[in-house]
Amino acid sequence: MKVHHHIRAFEQVLASYDGKLPLHRHLVVYFKQNKQMGSSDRRWASRYIYSYFRLGKALSDLPAIARLAVADFLCNNDLSLITQHVFPTADQHITASITDKIAIVKAQYPNFQLKDVFPFSKELSEGIDQQEFLLSLFTQPDLFIRVKETHLPAIKAKLEEAGVPVKELSDTTLALPNGTKLEQIIDDARLYQVQDFSSQKTGNYFKPKPYEYWWDCCAASGGKSLLIHSLEPKVKLLASDLRETSLGNLQERFQLAGIKDYQKKAIDLLQNNDQILHHYEFDGILLDAPCSGAGTWGRTPEMLYFFEAYKVANYAKLQMAIAENVVKYLKPGKPLIYMTCSVFKEENEDIVTHLLKNFPLKLESKELIGGYHDKADSMFVARLIKEQE
Ligand SMILES: C[S@@+](CC[C@H](N)C(=O)[O-])C[C@H]1O[C@@H](n2cnc3c(N)ncnc32)[C@H](O)[C@@H]1O
């Protein structure tokens, strides 16, 4: 009987979701409205719905429950009641590797195509291992924290003491299982910043010098601003974003981090901002552009199902317009750091090509930081230097 209870719970949560809100936010509202669901029900419903969307558009012609059984088998190392009931051949292979599991699924469902999991015919950025990238979509990425080198041993010890399996990825980066309740383990929130590993690696391209004036022009709640500050605490910063609410979060994070020497402004970079910015000239600009986010869909797998490919071209237009509006405030000889968390060439290399063609910029270096080997997001970064006009 219990399996029918699982099936009904999954079908109800699936029917309630239309892809408009991020899935994690939808689930918070859904569980509030369905108070009869106990913690075990909520845990299973979350696991099922997340696994389901990780299948993207693969096996679209199957009923939802059959797709769920396949998805749940591919995404988990322990058997669920639904998989056991609907896809019994999965039983003795539940701990097999993902490539072996895919062979088992294909034997049962010959129509299964890995490329349908990420059903976008758009070209991927150079350097992405497509197979590895697709396989990584079946796994939830880790949680990463950035810490000061000197604090790392103590923080690591504290996490281990609390029974958290910790991986040390660099002198300043720890990887933890997603869902780790950091605030319950490390009492001093100033000691760490939650930031994806690939996002941390973009910092290798910033190279700020003391007393330089940098502009983080799409700052949101300040992830990259905090990163540049940790690389060079004497840097001066202007942090701006379209959204006031994000800048409010940035202010709180800066306060907590004890950073005082910065300015923040709400600026819409699709407008002419000469009135506000005419006297500004920067030694470096961080442009972490609004994008499809396709490099982060391992965390938001509902996008594999709901994202519409035509939107990539809209993002590319937005990226070009924003980049065009900021280059003029950069000093000659200084860098524009263009970043996205997209894996699409149209939002990455093509934007760089457009900028090189239309502006006095020279490409110093670029990289698609493929996070899929480290259970992290994927990001694109390019360092472009402004030439004398
Ligand atoms: C990828 S997010 C930035 C993430 C942030 N840099 C970080 O490290 O956490 C892109 C940001 O661009 C902002 N944005 C979108 N359109 C904009 C516009 N027209 N002008 C200024 N900012 C804009 C969004 O509000 C969003 O916060």
**Whether the predicted pLDDT of 42 surpasses 70:** yes
- What confidence score (pLDDT) does residue 387 get? 95
Residue nearest to atom 23 of ligand 1 (CA): 242
Residue 216 Cα: closest atom of ligand 1 = 6
**Whether the predicted pLDDT of 1 surpasses 60:** no
Q: Sign of the C-alpha dihedral, residues 95, 100, 105, 107?
A: negative
Query: At CA 378, angle to CA 188 and CA 282, rounded to 5?
Result: 75
- Render pLDDT for 128-174 as a digit per residue (tens, 0 to 9): 999 999 999 999 999 999 999 999 999 999 999 999 999 999 999 99
**Whether the predicted pLDDT of 196 surpasses 60:** yes
- Render pLDDT for 68-112 as a digit per residue (tens, 0 to 9): 999 999 999 999 999 999 998 888 999 999 999 999 999 999 999
Task: Identify whether 341 is a catalytic site residue.
Answer: yes
How far does the centroid of ligand 1 lie from the alpha carbon of residue 289, in Å? 6
Residue 187 labelled as part of a binding site: no
**Do 143-194 and 198-386 show the same overall fold?**
no
CATH code at 143-194: 3.30.70
Q: Are the CB atoms for 199 and 381 separated by under 8 Å?
A: no
Q: What is the pTM of this model?
A: 0.96
ipTM of the complex: 0.99
Residue ranges per domain, the chain?
Answer: 2-117, 143-194, 198-386
Residue to mutate (ligand 1; options 218, 318, 340; most atoms within 8 A of CB): 218
How far does the centroid of ligand 1 lie from the alpha carbon of residue 332, in Å? 24
How far does the centroid of ligand 1 lie from the alpha carbon of residue 313, in Å? 17
Choose, from 75, 218, 291, 341, the residue flagged as catalytic: 341
Q: Which long-range contacts (CB under 8 A, 24 or more apart) does 381-384 make?
A: 381/201, 381/202, 381/205, 381/337, 381/338, 381/339, 382/205, 382/337, 382/338, 382/339, 382/348, 382/352, 383/205, 383/207, 383/335, 383/336, 383/337, 384/335, 384/336, 384/337, 384/338, 384/352, 384/355, 384/356
Q: Give the rounded percent of residues in the chain with a pLDDT score beyond 70.
A: 99
How far does the centroid of ligand 1 lie from the alpha carbon of residue 43, in Å? 32
Distance CA 225, CA 262 (A): 10
Residue to mutate (ligand 1; options 241, 244, 247; most atoms within 8 A of CB): 241
The average confidence (pLDDT) of the chain is 96
- What confidence score (pLDDT) does residue 239 get? 98
Q: Please list every protein residue whose CB sits less than 6 Å from any atom of ligand 1.
A: 218-221, 223-224, 241-243, 246, 267-270, 288, 290, 322
CATH code at 198-386: 3.40.50.150
Residue 61 labelled as part of a binding site: no
Residue 241 Cα: closest atom of ligand 1 = 22
